[in-house]
Structures are given as C-alpha cells and as structure tokens.
Structure 1
Amino acid sequence: MPQLQEFVEIWTGESGEPQRLVWRARRFRVTDRPTPRVGPAEWWQPFAAHDVSPGREPLAIAGWRFQASTDDGETHVFDVDHDGTRWLLLKVFD
C-alpha cells in the first residue's frame, strides 16, 4: 500500500498513546491498544557511524499503529508518525 503523507489531528493520553483522530473531516476513536512504531533515536544520529557491537543503536518511538472507528462503524488501521510539530498519516489499512 502506498504511503499517504497526509497531515491529521491526533489527541493523545498522558502516556503519548493516540486516543482520537480526525482524518478527512471524520472523527475516529482508537478502539484497540496502539502499537509503537520504533526507529533509531534522534539523539543517536551524530554517533550513527560508530560500531555499537555487541548491541545495536538505541531506539525511540517514531509513531504508532492503531485501529480506530467512527461512531457509524467505519473502521481502519492507521500508521502515523510525528514530525516534531504535526502528525503525519503514513498508511491506512481497510
């Protein structure tokens, strides 16, 4: 499935997990436990060329995958990332 690269509005809880989403003027509520999408920690970038044997580079939450539904039953699985200021919708699975 191609990446969408659309900006969306997301409300999160105290732990940072998504709770609600507005996509294409539709309101969705998260209906499952969001799964973190991890990637290399940003602070590690200056050291990325160094060998970290026997471990691996530190990881951080880069975004989330979660299922969300509208009040009338429309349901999708969403992949989202945060660019530092806004939420970016990467993929939608039906």
Structure 2
Amino acid sequence: MGVFTEPVEVACSPAGEPVRLVWGNRTWRIVAEPVRWYQRRSWWAEEQRAEPGRGAGLVDHEIWRVQVRLEGHRQIRTLDLSRQGNPGRWRLIKIHDAVRSMSA
C-alpha cells in the first residue's frame, strides 16, 4: 500500500458522492459505490489552537474509498481520498494496489 498525500480534482454527484476524479492529468471514473467514513486526526499536534466557531474538519477527516478506472482500460485501482473543508479540498492519501503492482 502506498501512503502519501497529493491534491486531486473530484467531481461529485448531487448527493455529494465522488463520481470521477482527475489525477496525474488523467480522468478516472468511479466504477463501484464509494465508501465513506471519518477518521480522527491529531489536531492538537497539527494546530497551534482551535479558533472559536471552527469545528468542521478540525477533529475528523472525511475519507472516501473509491474504485476507479481509466476510460478504455480494464485495470481497476482502489484509492482513498480525503475531503477537507467546505466546499472541500480533495487529496489522494492512499493507493491500495501499489505494492501488488510493484512486486508483480
């Protein structure tokens, strides 16, 4: 599993679910229902102080696991994306098939 952070552009459905993303100057289409959860972040180590009225994104990160494919390709990749803030900055934080493809 490759773990890092890289900005990506994500287009969402009206319900707020990712439907496609631009990563590496290529457009990837979501091919399975994405899964969302929230992950606690170490805000006390990353922030000097919490500003009054600031809460969204301070304690938890919104994480989406998506399966994507390039148009015309068969290979499906599983990625974890993090959405931070509102309207939301998206970051690619994990590529699940990176170790398998490097060791094959």
Do they superpose with TM above 0.5?
Answer: yes
Q: Distance in 2 between matches of 1:18 and 1:39?
A: 18
Q: What is aligned with 2:67?
A: 67
For the residue of structure 2 that corresponds to 1:32, the secondary structure is coil
Higher mean C-alpha displacement, 74-83 vs 12-21: 74-83
Q: What is aligned with 1:7?
A: 7
Q: What is aligned with 1:54?
A: none
Residues 77/27 of structure 1: CA separation in 2 closer, same or farther (3 Å cut): same
In structure 1, runs of 5+ residues without a counterpart are 49-59
Give the aligned CA root-mean-square deviation in angstroms.
2.7
The one of 87, 91, 94 aligned to 2:94: 91
Superposed displacement of residue 77, structure 1:
0.6
Residues 75/88 of structure 1: CA separation in 2 closer, same or farther (3 Å cut): same
TM-score (norm 1): 0.71
Counterpart amino acid of residue 23 in structure 2: W
Superposed displacement of residue 22, structure 1:
0.6
Q: Distance in 1 between matches of 2:13 and 2:96?
A: 23
Residues 16/77 of structure 1: CA separation in 2 closer, same or farther (3 Å cut): same
Superposed displacement of residue 43, structure 1:
4.1
8 Å contact 2:32–2:67 — kept in the other structure?
A: yes
**Fraction of identical pairs, as percent:** 30
How many positions carry a matched residue from both structures? 81
Q: 1:43-83 CA deviation, whole Å, 9 max, x = no partner?
A: 49xxx9xxxxxxxxxxx771200101011214211100112
Q: What is aligned with 2:45?
A: none
Counterpart amino acid of residue 76 in structure 1: R
For the residue of structure 2 that corresponds to 1:11, the secondary structure is strand
Q: What is aligned with 1:80?
A: 81
TM-score (norm 2): 0.65
In structure 2, runs of 5+ residues without a counterpart are 41-53, 98-104
